[in-house]
Every structure is written in C-alpha cells, then in structure tokens.
A and B are shown apart, each in its own frame.
Chain A
Amino acid sequence: MTTPLARRRWRAGGLLAPVAVAVVAVVAAPLGFVIAQAAQAGWDQTRRLLGRPLIATLLWHTLSLAAAVTLATAVLGFGAAYLVERTTLPGRRAWTVALALPLAVPEFVRGYSWVSLFRSVHGYWGAVLVMTCSLYPLVFLPVAAALRQGDAAAEEVSRSLGRGRLATLLRVTLPLTRPALAGGVLLVSLYLLGEYGAFAMLRYTTFATAVFTQYKLGFDAASASLLTLVLVGLALLLVALEAWAGRQARITRHGAVARPAVPVRLGGWAAPALAALAALVGVSLGVPLYALAYWLVKGSSTTLPSASVLGATLATLGYALGAALVATAAAVPVALYGWRRGTRPARAVERIAYLTRALPGIAVALAVVFFAVRWARPLYQQPPMLILGYVLLFFPLALTAVRAALAQVPPGVEEAARSLGTRPLAVLGRVTLPLVLPGLGAAVAMVGLTASTELTATLLLRPTGTQTLATQFWVYTSGLAYGAAAPYAALMVALSVPSVLLLTRRSLGSTP
C-alpha cells in the first residue's frame, strides 16, 4: 500500500510551493517588464547611457544617501525602541505611539512642508534629515517588538559576567535584535533607491531621478528601464546583505517562556532622553503638521467641496483597504513557504519579492499598464488594476510583517496539529493563521497606510474619473492652490492615524 501514502505526502507538501511561486511570479512581473523594455535599448545606447560620468555621480549620490539614512534610522530607531522598551522612561506607551505617528504623514506632504518652512533644507543633508525623519519608524517598530518579545536572560547573564549596561547593550541586546534591525533597515534602503518625489523637492538627485528624467522628458522607456535595472542590481545587493545579517543571528529558543526585562533606571539620563525623543517627534511630526495647519488657515483657496472630499475619502479607503487585504493574503503563502522550508530556493523565492520595492513607482505602474492592456483588457483602468498596482508596489511591506509574525510561532505546532489528525488546510486555518493574526493586522495596516498616500501609480492606474485624496492633493498643488489641497492632506493624515495605532498595538502586543 505504498501508492496512497506517497501521493498523500506529495499533495500535502506540494500545494504551497506552486501558490507561493505563482504569487512571486506576479509580484516580480514588473521586473520582467523592466528587463524586456531595457532589452530594446541597443548595445550602443546602453554604453552611452551607462558610460556617462554622470552615472558614477548618481551612484555615489544614491549610495552615500542610502548609507547615511540607513545608519541614522538604525541608530534612531534602535535608540528610541530601547528607551521605550527597556528603560524607566516616563510615558512609554504614549511615546511608542508618538514615535510611530510620522508614518501617517504622506511623503509629498513631508517634502513640501520642509521645503516651504526651511529654505536651508535641501541637497544631501536636507535629504538625509527629511528621509531619516520619515523612515525611522520602519526600524523603530520591528526593533521595539523584538525587544519586547525577547528574553532578558541573555542580557542578565552578560551583566553577571561583569559587562556593564552599555557593553551589554552593544554586545548582547543589539546582536539579538539584529534580524529585526536588518529587516527594518532593508525596507528603508530599498525605499531610498526607488524614491523620487521627495528628492526632487529637496533638490537632491539620485539614480531614481535619472530614471524619471528619461520617462518624463525623454519619453524613453528603454533608457529608463536600463537605468532601473541598475537600481535592481543595488537592491539585489541589499537583499543579499540582509539575508546574510539575518542568518548570522539565527536564534533558537526552547522550553522556557521569555521573561520581560527589568527596565533600566534612567536616573539623571531621563531628562536628556525625554528631550531627545521630544526633538525627534517634534521634528518628524511637528514640521509637517505645522505646515498643514498653516495651509489650512492661510491658503485663500481653502474651500471644502464636501462632496468631492467624501468621494475621494471613500475611494481612498476602499482601494487602500482592498490592496491591503489582497497583499496580505498573497503574502501569507509566500512567507509560509519560506518559513516551513528553510531551504535555499524557498528563501530565494521569498527574497525576489523584495526587489520590486526598489522599482520607481512609475515603472511598476507602466508594467501594469503594459500587461493589463494586452492580457486583461476588460479589467484595464478598472478598480482591480489599481489594486494590483498597489499590491505589486507594497507586497514587500506585507511580506515583512507576515514573516515577523511567523517567526513568533513556536516550531512544531503545525506538526502537533497534524498529529492530532487535522488536515493541512485545517491546520492553517485553526492553528497557524490564528497565531499570526496580529501580524496579519500589522501587514494590513502597513500596506493600507502606504497605499492611501500613493500618487504616481494611482494617477496611471485609477479608473477614469476616480479621485483619491492623493490625486486631489496633486490636482490642487500642481495648480499652486495649497489651501485647497490642505484639507485632502489633512484627511490623509487623519485616516492614517488608526492604522498607525493598530501597528503600534499589533506589533508590540499589549502592555507588559
């Protein structure tokens, strides 16, 4: 009776892989598009384009910015997380929310508010400042979660071996949070590769600037795609680095339940620590909110066409939520596949999905245009295509959150459930999914948050006539009517706040 046995094994193990591979194939489709477009540029064009001394300059701009912002977000994100999670800092819960709230401010609002309030903020240091302020929560949230869930025993052992607090922080706490830190930093650096709008406002040029110039002034998709491939190469490098950093810190925990750490007494350091956090929140949240308030009050074009505001709000909510749900649902099989199989190909499939994060929004949107108009014509410029665009753009965010949640699932629970006679699909529904549910909430919040402020892909993929808050904001700002644009920006921020609250609650769990 070996036949039924063998078949059963194949079915149980084999279902997940094709689903995961299919999802990644869809997510990686824009990459294929970019490669196909780039191939249309001849060898001569390639050499001319990439041989320019300008390319070296732009690479340097991109890499030096990525390095500085990555370092700054790592230091600030980790430092803030440590203060909130491991010290006697007063008001730790409130700080957690305040520190995550900058995520609620759309990128273009932030860019404009800085540029309009402070003339000196531009160029390299301006870009470092603004990007650090907006991106540090991507490091702060996962690190804070890791610190909260981590066992304090290793740190106590280090102290008992004569290492002081600082040495323990650097030699034990920091390495133990490295997977979370590496994941957050990866998102930050990939984001920096593909970002265009904020840098344009800050008058800083990166590789993505060159890509946009080729699209916008050259109408040259081939050259633009060729340059985009360089970005993809950089992204590959980053993903590989993250994989390496993550592997170096593989953690095994068995048996005992983690005991929360005893908070470090800040004593005389409480005042400087509070001042530092207040400065961070003030700079990253206060500046855009002040600019928004200024526009709302001062702009003479401030009139509230309530019908259009309501329509745009509903459309924004619907699309963002739809994209968030689909992206999360799609991320589950991919994350599960990488998690269950520790194998190299499984992890490779998972990591390909991250590469799209480095693609400029316009490349992803045009890829959807290209595929949809040819092979999904009835759906072209219909809501599903906009949602697909969002999903392709923000899939890595969902994947990161689902992966983080899976990492908390004790190994062996799935086998335990199977041994109790539960079929694989039922195990997923009854054991695995309930366990990762908080993480799924975080994934939905993260994608919804980001999608609700997306502009480039929205303009290209939305159903004709649909307005979201972001497109309305764009319509008015490109007509210089900042007052009229302000209510839409304010609404975007307001709509994002619940997501941020959910994120801080979900990724950090309840009060210890």
Chain B
Amino acid sequence: MTGLSVVDLHAAHGRSPVLHGIDLTVPDGALACVLGPSGCGKSTLLRVLAGFHPAAAGQVVLHGRVLDDGRGRLAAEQRGIGLVPQDGALFPHLSVAANIGFGLPRSQRRARVGELLDLVGLPGLGERRPHQLSGGQQQRVALARALAPRPRLLLLDEPFAALDAALRAELRREVAATLRQSGTTAVLVTHDQDEALSFADTIAVLRDGRIAQAGSPDELYHRPADAAVAAVLGEANLIPAEAKGVEALTALGALPLAGSAAGSAGALALLRPGQLRLTASPVAGAVPAKVLGSDFRGHDHRVELRPEAAGLPEVLIASADRPWPVGGEAYLAAVGPVHLLPGD
C-alpha cells in the first residue's frame, strides 16, 4: 500500500513559486529522503506535507486520504504527521516527560512515555528540563515526542544538523533503526548526502522546486540522471566518453558500461573516486598524473590529481588507502563498470 503520494504539487511564497510540480511516492514503512541544497524548496515541501504551508495546486495523499489538493486542506493537527524540527524545538516550559506526552491522551501518557524514553535510550530522564539536556539528548526527546502518538508519517527537518559529526552519524543510525523498528513511514529533509545515503530507502533529489531524480540510494549514487544529481550525491569524476556496444571509450581506456548506453557522442562517464586506482609505477592503460593534494578522511585518503593526458578534466579525485606525496607522480587507472550521462 502506498504511504505518501505527492502528485504534481505546486506551492508558492506570496507570488514567487517555489515548488513546480513535485511527484513523490513513499511506500508504507519506508524511510525517504529529500536531498537538495538550501533554497531548493525542500523545507517548503516539508511544510506543505505537515500542513503549515498551502499547496497552490496538485495533491498530497497519505494512506488514501487527501491532505491538500490546492483548494481545501486538512488542518495540521488533524493529519497525524509527526515533526522533528532542526533544533528540536522542545517546549522549554515542560519536563522531558511532559514534552513526550504532549500529544497523548492523558490516560496513555505514563505507559507510553516510559516506553519511548526506553526506545530513544533516555530511561530515567523524564523529570529533566530541556535546558538540562545535551544537544543529542534534546533531539532524541524531540524524536520520542513526535513518535509518541504513533504518527502515520514522520517528518524530519535536518534534525542532526546542529550536532557534531560523530554524534550525528551515531544518532542517524539509531533513529533509522528506531523508525524501522516501529515501522514508521518517514521523510527526512537534508542537504547532507551522507545523511541521505545512509538513512533512506528512497532518495528524491530536489532542485529548483522540481524533483531531479528519485530512486534508491544505490541507483542515485551509481546511475544519476545527470551531472548535477551525480554531484549532489557525492564527489564525481565526469570523463568524456563514447558508447560503443557494451563499452565506453574514454581517455582512461575502454570501460564496461553499467546498464544500457543512453548516450551518443558528447556523453560523460561517471567515475566515483573509488573507481580510480593509483599506482606508483606505470601499468597497462594507466595515465600519468601529478598529485595536487592528499587528505586523510579516516577510512580513506582523498587524492586530488592533475592527469597528464588529453581528453580528461583538469582535476580528478581518487580514493586511496594510503597518503600520496603532494607534487609527486602517480598513475591512474579506472575500474568499471561506468554509468554514462548525457552531455550538456
């Protein structure tokens, strides 16, 4: 059964249109992510879903119930859609327990609040005040508060943005696990591709008020519809290529094609940094390159190179398992299969 379905949704701020025909489907129980740079309209989309911003045209349907069709709309409090805002927005005048129990009928409060405190890993903190909690704890309470009334859909508005990196990743995993455990359908809005890739079952890339592409993280990462989508999801090397049968002919040699070749002349092959191998000495088909920089990122080293061969961009990014001396020589080889993008 379809959880959330958004059809040809338009919305505007005053006279300036912000969303131009959004189509989005989130299956029941799935975790979806709307990914896009700031100003792309993702917050407006979220607010239309939540009921705080009117749709100008189109339809928002949740579990078969029309929430907004551009003419009439259901009040926010009648939608059963939970919301976790960026900074948590805990009610500062209420205790943690009262925050979590806010949306519950009185009779259920005690039991359900305890359950949720356990679920978000904060047992025993019910009597604390929001200002006595750390940032991560506040976000967990905000999540518990939103989950308490068992919403049909949960909206998360960059909920991890204000947290430090380590905590962000940890909490992200926790929240995803919690949501899967409770079978909640959720839409996360973010500009952080790591967050999107690790959190969601489905990602929709939003650009200038339109969905540029929607699909699974794997699909979007490896088979983006265009160069811009490719870039939004992570570092991408785009190399001029020509499709020939099941291969793409590039300056780095002939590489096996992933899927069918869409392109003709002027196509681009997408090579993620992990698909570029570096060797210190020349190997067959490798192209010499100068090392411009090498940064340690924990799990790998990001190496910036200037290839010394025609038909390649000025700079390529490779992922290596050891640091490379800056200014030194390296040899670049590509590992297929590659995805072909249409040229401009």
Chain A residues within CB distance 8 Å of chain B:
151, 153-154, 156-165, 168, 171-172, 175-176, 178, 248-256, 262
Contact = CB atoms under 8 A, between A and B. Distances in A.
B86 A161 contact: no
B83 interface: yes
Given A156-B76, A160-B77, A164-B77, A175 B149 contact: no
A160 B102 CA distance: 11
B256 to A, nearest CB: 47
Contacts of A168: 77
Contact of B92 (A159, A165, A249, A256): A249
B96 to A, nearest CB: 13
B145 A161 contact: yes
B86 A160 contact: no
A413 to B, nearest CB: 18
Contacts of B93: 175-176, 178, 248-249
B87 A253 contact: yes
Contacts of B149: 161-162
B135 A157 contact: no
Q: Which of B91, B130, B151 has the most CB of A within 10 A?
A: B91
A90 to B, nearest CB: 16
Interface in B119-149: 129-131, 135, 142, 145-146, 148-149
Give the 3 A-B CB pairs with smallest separation, nearest first: A161-B103, A153-B89, A160-B83
A446 to B, nearest CB: 27
A159 B85 CA distance: 13
Contacts of A154: 89-92
Q: How large is the interface on B (under 10, 10 to 19, 20 to 34, 35 or more residues)?
A: 35 or more
B89 A161 contact: no
Nearest to B88: A153
Given A153-B85, A156-B50, A256-B162, A175 B77 contact: no
Contact of B87 (A161, A248, A256): A256
A156 B83 contact: yes
Contacts of A164: 75, 77
Contact of B89 (A157, A165, A250, A262): A157
Given A156-B50, A253-B87, A254-B87, A163 B103 contact: yes
B29 to A, nearest CB: 20
Nearest to B83: A160
B215 interface: no
Contacts of A252: 92, 130-131
A156 B85 contact: yes
A159 B145 CA distance: 12
A157 B75 contact: no
Interface string B66-83: 000000000111111111
Interface in B158-187: 161-162
A255 B162 contact: yes
Contacts of A158: 91, 102-103
Given A159-B51, A262-B53, A256 B86 contact: yes
A162 B93 CA distance: 19
B296 interface: no
Contacts of A157: 83, 85, 89, 142, 145-146
B85 A161 contact: no
Contact of A161 (B53, B94, B135, B146): B146
A151 B53 CA distance: 16
30 contacts: A154-B90, A154-B91, A156-B50, A156-B85, A157-B83, A157-B85, A157-B146, A158-B91, A160-B50, A160-B51, A160-B76, A160-B79, A160-B83, A161-B77, A161-B146, A161-B149, A162-B149, A175-B93, A176-B91, A176-B92, A248-B93, A250-B92, A250-B129, A251-B131, A252-B92, A254-B87, A255-B87, A255-B162, A256-B86, A256-B87
A159 B87 contact: no
Given A156-B83, A157-B145, A163-B103, A250 B50 contact: no
A474 B172 CA distance: 71
A172 B91 contact: yes
A264 to B, nearest CB: 11
Contacts of B129: 250
B292 to A, nearest CB: 34
Given A156-B50, A156-B83, A252-B131, A162 B78 contact: yes
Contacts of B86: 153, 255-256
Given A158-B102, A160-B83, A256-B161, 6 more contacts: A154-B89, A157-B85, A159-B51, A172-B91, A251-B92, A256-B162
Contacts of B82: 160-161
A158 B51 CA distance: 12
A407 to B, nearest CB: 13
Given A161-B82, A176-B93, A153 B50 contact: no
Contacts of A178: 93
A300 B76 CA distance: 63
Q: Which of B89, B130, B148 has the most CB of A within 10 A?
A: B89
Nearest to B81: A160
Contacts of A254: 87, 135, 162
A285 to B, nearest CB: 33
B173 to A, nearest CB: 22
B85 to A, nearest CB: 4
Contacts of A161: 77, 82, 102-103, 145-146, 148-149
Contacts of B92: 154, 176, 249-252
Nearest to A255: B162
Contacts of A165: 77
A415 to B, nearest CB: 19
Nearest to B162: A255
A255 B162 CA distance: 7
Contacts of A160: 50-51, 76-77, 79, 81-83, 146, 151, 155
A176 B80 CA distance: 24
A171 B130 CA distance: 16
A162 B80 contact: yes
Contact of A159 (B77, B135, B142, B162): B77
Nearest to B98: A171
Interface in B210-249: none
A211 to B, nearest CB: 38
Contacts of B155: 160
A163 B79 contact: no
A156 B87 CA distance: 13
Nearest to B87: A256
Given A161-B149, A164-B77, A249-B93, A262 B162 contact: no
Interface in B6-62: 50-53
A422 B131 CA distance: 30
Contacts of B51: 159-160
Nearest to B103: A161
Nearest to A171: B102
Contacts of B52: 156, 159, 262
Contacts of A248: 93
A253 B88 CA distance: 10
Nearest to B90: A154
A284 B135 CA distance: 47
A156 B80 CA distance: 13
Contacts of B148: 161
A159 B75 CA distance: 9
Contacts of B85: 153, 156-157
A168 B146 CA distance: 15
Contacts of B103: 158, 161-163
B162 A163 contact: no
A154 B142 CA distance: 10
